Amino acid sequence: MIHAFRGEILTTPAPDLVQHYLDGLLVVEDGLVVALGAYADLAGRFGDVPVEPLSGLIVPGFIDTHIHYPQTGRIAAHGQQLLSWLEQHIFPAEKAFASRAHADHVAAFFLDELLRNGTTSALVFATVHEGSVDALFEAALSRNMRIISGKVLMDLGPEGLRDTPEAARGESEALIARWRGRGRLGYAVTPRFALTSSDAQLRVAGDLLAAHGDVMMHTHMAENRGECAAVEARFGAAHYIDAYDRFGLVGPRSLFAHCIHMNDAAMGRMGQAGSAIAFCPTSNLFLGSGLFDLTHADRFGVCVGLGSDVGAGTSFSMLATQGEAYKVCQMRGSVLDPFRALYLATAGGARALGLSDRVGGLQAGQEADFIVLDPGATPLLAMRTQGAGLAEKLFAMQVLGDDRCVARTYIAGILAHSR
Ligand code: GUN
Ligand code: ZN
């Protein structure tokens, strides 16, 4: 089936590339973009194709490079920084995912919430339970969403939320075999963080990553100062990254959430390895973890995407996350351009997930995941964006907007959510 969408279209397919068509046309065939451009330029070539007019600003679907679906119900948990927040609020909630029925229920709610917020692809933490991954993948498959996830490896976790190196290997292998090549799903080997895995289990994670060229590695690094001190003490490491590096976990298919407390050697190693970072501003502020330094990552050529990191993150909205990223950059003495922020939330995220050829830029050949943003979603936004230019309008939505701005979400050219 071939069809087209006509309206104002904005995309940032590369770091310094902005494509904007005031009267644009997006042509989609069997879920893939066939052409993107000015209506006047494409109308002749696609004269027979049915066209749906869309009012608002069409942009690529957002890509959340780090989020925990089992923590959905624990968002906004008061009072602690990382390590005690995990003990007090998160581990008890994750134990409930031993129940497949509970996992199914939360997975459905979670994916619908992503769609309401215009997020069409995500790299997602599940729990230590194999069934938590099956639940998420089944729900994502039925929605045709591009979701990457994997069983959490944590043999040093608390009672009731602990596996073994052998179970980690066996269950991960089973999940990879069961889900490989299905729908738009991808697998990530997912050691929770260095403190919850034994050396033997980190070795298993490295083996899995080496054995399967089509899987990612997803973990946390250098988020909280207490965490960093504990890791460096346990591993006798000069920096946290050495603990992962020893087990072959720092490579081009690896994504590390946070990376706040980095030195030049650690950031340089990330750049050299081609590893990616998920910048999670709402989470880093909420847990008092610190201020990510985007210019430091830039200096070493490290690939960065944006992550909501719900439940430590305080919003599912990648618009709100862009607004908070702007504020964190201000605190670090740099100014985040609104088009770069959009890039981080779309094509930049795709690059961080190794999906540049598939999603993020609405380029010909890519999958047609896109959203329609409403710059007049609230009275204040309507007032602020009245007569505004493109950059001003985009920035206002990043600072003032959230799910209310997402009028429609399309997955592979098909309407999946309408406000
Ligand atoms: N480090 C280890 N586990 C977690 C988690 O669940 N959330 C965050 N933000 N950091 C972590
Ligand atoms: Zn996280």
What proportion of the chain, given as a percentage, has pLDDT over 70? Answer: 100
Ligand 1 contact, 94 CB (< 6 A): no
Query: 25 falls in which pLDDT band (50, 70, 90)?
Result: very high
Atom of ligand 1 nearest to the CA of 71: 6
Ligand 1 contact, 308 CB (< 6 A): no
Cα 195 to ligand 2 centre (Å): 14
CA neighbours closer than 13 Å in the CB half-sphere of residue 285:
16
Atom of ligand 1 nearest to the CA of 309: 9
User: 79-96: per-residue pLDDT in tens?
Assistant: 999 999 999 999 999 999
Query: 24 falls in which pLDDT band (50, 70, 90)?
Result: very high
Cα 71 to ligand 2 centre (Å): 10
Question: Atom 8 (ligand 1): residue with closest C-alpha?
Answer: 312
**Of the bound ligands, which one is closest to the alpha carbon of residue 257?**
2
Ligand 1 contact, 82 CB (< 6 A): yes
User: 277-331: per-residue pLDDT in tens?
Assistant: 999 999 999 999 999 999 999 999 999 999 999 999 999 999 999 999 999 999 9
Question: Atom 7 (ligand 1): residue with closest C-alpha?
Answer: 312
Query: 342 falls in which pLDDT band (50, 70, 90)?
Result: very high
Question: Atom 3 (ligand 1): residue with closest C-alpha?
Answer: 192
Joined together, the tokens standing for residue 133 give 């991954």
CA 413 to chain centre: 21
Joined together, the tokens standing for residue 382 give 């309507």
Pocket test for ligand 1, best of 71, 82, 195 (most atoms within 8 A of CB): 82
Cα 82 to ligand 1 centre (Å): 7
DSSP string for residues in 20-54? EEEEEEEEEETTEEEEEEEHHHHTTTTTTS-EEEE
Atom of ligand 1 nearest to the CA of 280: 9
The average pLDDT across 240-247 equals 98
For residues 72 and 124, the answer to whether their CB atoms sit within 8 Å is no
Cα 25 to ligand 1 centre (Å): 42
The average pLDDT across 135-158 equals 98
Question: Atom 9 (ligand 1): residue with closest C-alpha?
Answer: 312
**For residue 417, what pLDDT is reported?**
98
Ligand 1 contact, 193 CB (< 6 A): yes
Cα 258 to ligand 2 centre (Å): 8
Query: 219 falls in which pLDDT band (50, 70, 90)?
Result: very high
Ligand 1 contact, 309 CB (< 6 A): yes
Domain ranges of the chain: 2-60+361-418, 62-336
Q: How many CB atoms neighbour CB 268 within 10 A?
A: 16
Pocket test for ligand 1, best of 90, 123, 162, 196 (most atoms within 8 A of CB): 90
For residues 371 and 62, the answer to whether their CB atoms sit within 8 Å is yes
The sign one gets for the Cα dihedral 405, 114, 344, 346 is: negative
By CB atoms closer than 10 A (0-12, 13-18, 19+), residue 290 is middle
**For residue 349, what pLDDT is reported?**
99
CA angle in degrees (0–180, nearest 5) for 370-371-377: 170
357 to each of 36, 123, 131, 361, 370, how far by Cα in Å? Answer: 16, 16, 30, 9, 15
CA neighbours closer than 13 Å in the CB half-sphere of residue 235:
25
**For residue 179, what pLDDT is reported?**
98
Cα 368 to ligand 2 centre (Å): 28
**For residue 234, what pLDDT is reported?**
98
Residue that has been written with the tokens 């960065």 in this structure: 304
The average pLDDT across 158-172 equals 97
In sequence order, what are the beta bridge partners of 122? Answer: 64, 147
Pocket test for ligand 1, best of 192, 219, 231 (most atoms within 8 A of CB): 192
The average pLDDT across 71-78 equals 98
User: According to CATH, what is the number of the domain 2-60+361-418?
Assistant: 2.30.40.10
User: Whole-number mean pLDDT of the chain?
Assistant: 98
Ligand 1 contact, 54 CB (< 6 A): no
Query: 248 falls in which pLDDT band (50, 70, 90)?
Result: very high
What is the architecture of the domain spanning 62-336? Alpha-Beta Barrel (3.20)
Atom of ligand 1 nearest to the CA of 193: 2
Ligand 1 contact, 192 CB (< 6 A): yes
The C-alpha atoms of residue 149 and residue 202 are separated, in whole angstroms, by 18
- The ipTM of this complex is 0.99
What proportion of the chain, given as a percentage, has pLDDT over 90? Answer: 100
The residues whose Cβ lies within 5 A of ligand 2, an ion, are 257, 309
